[in-house]
Structure 1
């Protein structure tokens, strides 16, 4: 596992040591787990915020156990993907001592993020109203399934559930079978982007007014947005989107074609691109100027015959031949790749999207960078996702000023987990 990492991917190139970070000095207390919340806070961490991830002792975030799990890291690739540049503090929120610790951390924070089921934070005394009595200008972001109020507030929700309930799945796949979900957690990812944007907006507002606020971002609300302009198309026409597989209901020819050696996609988004495709790429200027193909609706009505013409032409030559001609003609195209091919592609390598970063236990781990490129405040150098509670004592010493006597008392109460209580008992015996 990870044996070929050093041979295949370059070491991360560090940022200039004297460059500022966009969110220097911002502290986030992060109660979130799984994907949407943690990815949102990782974006903030990459921008330079100090993110303190609160986890249950021993077990930690459930995402740690999503496969493939590295036996030495004791967490899997999905957790590594969403939790870099954070410090993990293991605290038992079921204990009075543990709750006191997180309240002290909140008092020194700028942002709180949580995505528990509705009502959990209130029962813990850590809801927005409680937190703003601790820190009046706190920015408090809740990521929920269906919102924190209303008849669906109690519902649990995961990415595939909101994909189907938003109508997203009904749009995707082929017309002769059931719609299909996106395997990528697109709703979690886009919800994370919404949440991080919302937090940044609230921070700007707080900087101007001195007043914090509560933020709510729901997976379902976001999933409806992710159906794109199909919602307004439906409201204009009364019709639901139909599944078109790899073709487009709005443009033609757009879809997957087969060269001699592999599949590729072209997207003719307007009449001029179609004309360049026919005249400059496949050598059929007669079709480029044909009245029957003059407009998008004309071509959509004749999609089958047009695809047959193109399919026959493309089968005559390999992909590099067609790629060079389409690139020269300004026709958007791309080869159909696997994930493995994509991350090893020339485009990905040139952009240094995937690199390797050092890890104290396994030597190197892979890293997938954010697509954000700041000119003045480059994102933070990536530090691999932490072990459960890796930074508990470090954070409590630095942020709250705890000493050995305080740690000993906390260990005895179990606020930091049973293993620390056991360690404390063993120290007393020696």
Structure 2
């Protein structure tokens, strides 16, 4: 245990699987908490079987959401597995779960049951929909919720069919929001000693993700238009093609536009044209202006454009592929990707936690765990079970 980490000493029991719940638990682990992840003895977390394999029972998907955790196996369909999980929960500060509606009550792992014996417990439930509404029992899937919350409708280019985000944004946003809410509940517990039942649902978080587009839709009582990589009210602002690759150009005000025309594309007359003199005018006449700008940028090498834009004080950047971004000098210098290895010796890269305190990035203390690799250690440490006791549980299929 590293006592210098913000959440050092905090015990978290992660009963969740797939993405939103595991991300919430990983956030706490990244900040120093001791996170124990409970998995099924045979299949483990569903994501161990998703995507590119890294070792016999790990995958890139699983690894991305489960660093800084210890893994134990428990069959929660067996009474003994349920009993052990309850004992572990009663020794924890935080429990995170995303079981199907009513599933935890059947196992005696619901908030009411645990809080009766452990009033200081912070218990986080993640569901698909309003847990008090008519769809409470409906399972939540990121792609479905992206469609139902309008996110697919606002994503993509004008005239394009509904398009999902490149990653599971609703799951990710829900997981990060859950981490924030858990920390708030822990802070409240410091004042009054009482735990809380923290509840997040994917649909709520998907609605929140519509942000200013959602506000515009409510004000105008209509769907906002799609702008793709462009900005709805700033021109020129977006992704453009140079002669040898794409780049981002963000001309944020009229002074920048004058410098852009004069010093970058050598078309000063565009800045003097009354149709383009102000941002409001450029937005109205974007369909006339943008083809002219695109033609000028397409004639020039990206490196030359980036230099000219930087000298003109205009924010800009390359558009990189994922591999290019992860292996870029910028990412490497910042320590954004680390090399580690599973306990079986399989080398695996991991993305480093984004949090920094006093200039130091939070460490990767534990690589993504192999299935159940910490079962014996955790059960001995928390419940006093010796090797023979763990072997007996293993023989019975409980762990």
TM-score bin, normalised by smaller chain: over 0.9
Change (3 A) 1:131 1:251: same
Moved more, 404-413 or 167-176: 404-413
* Contact 1:28–1:111, Cα closer than 8 Å, also in 2: yes
Aligned to 2:16: 32
- Distance between the aligned counterparts of 1:378 and 1:346, measured in 2? 17
Q: Map Cα deviations across residues 119-162 of structure 1 (whole Å, 9 max, x no partner).
A: 11111111110110221110000111113221111111111111
Q: Does 1:403 align with 2:386?
A: yes
Aligned to 1:146: 129
Change (3 A) 1:378 1:258: closer
Moved more, 385-394 or 406-415: 406-415
- Please list every run of 5 or more consecutive structure 1 residues that lacks an aligned counterpart in the other structure: 1-16, 417-430
Change (3 A) 1:363 1:408: closer
- Of 85, 101, 122 in structure 2, the residue corresponding to residue 118 of structure 1 is 101
Moved more, 77-86 or 177-186: 177-186
Aligned to 2:302: 319
The RMSD of aligned alpha carbons is: 1.8
Q: Does 1:223 align with 2:186?
A: no
* Contact 2:7–2:28, Cα closer than 8 Å, also in 1: yes
3-state secondary structure, aligned to 2:177: helix
Q: Does 1:285 align with 2:268?
A: yes
Q: Does 1:336 align with 2:315?
A: no
User: Does 1 or 2 have the higher relative contact order (CA < 8 Å, sep 6+)?
Assistant: 1
Aligned to 2:247: 264
* Contact 1:357–1:383, Cα closer than 8 Å, also in 2: no
- Of 225, 233, 255 in structure 1, the residue corresponding to residue 238 of structure 2 is 255
Q: Map Cα deviations across residues 234-284 of structure 1 (whole Å, 9 max, x no partner).
A: 122222112222222221112222211111121223333323322332233
The number of equivalent residue pairs is 399
Cα deviation for residue 405 of structure 1 reads: 4.9
Q: Does 1:198 align with 2:181?
A: yes
- Please list every run of 5 or more consecutive structure 2 residues that lacks an aligned counterpart in the other structure: none
Moved more, 247-256 or 155-164: 247-256
- Distance between the aligned counterparts of 1:249 and 1:281, measured in 2? 23
- Distance between the aligned counterparts of 1:113 and 1:86, measured in 2? 13
- Distance between the aligned counterparts of 1:22 and 1:407, measured in 2? 32
Cα deviation for residue 409 of structure 1 reads: 4.6
Q: Normalising by structure 2, report the TM-score.
A: 0.95
* Contact 2:120–2:194, Cα closer than 8 Å, also in 1: yes
Q: Does 1:207 align with 2:190?
A: yes
Aligned to 1:87: 70
- Of 259, 277, 289 in structure 2, the residue corresponding to residue 306 of structure 1 is 289
- Distance between the aligned counterparts of 1:363 and 1:213, measured in 2? 40
* Contact 1:179–1:243, Cα closer than 8 Å, also in 2: no
Change (3 A) 1:403 1:19: closer
* Contact 1:105–1:399, Cα closer than 8 Å, also in 2: yes
Aligned to 1:189: 172
Change (3 A) 1:19 1:317: farther
Q: Normalising by structure 1, report the TM-score.
A: 0.88
Q: Does 1:170 align with 2:180?
A: no
Change (3 A) 1:122 1:18: closer
3-state secondary structure, aligned to 2:71: strand
Change (3 A) 1:97 1:377: farther
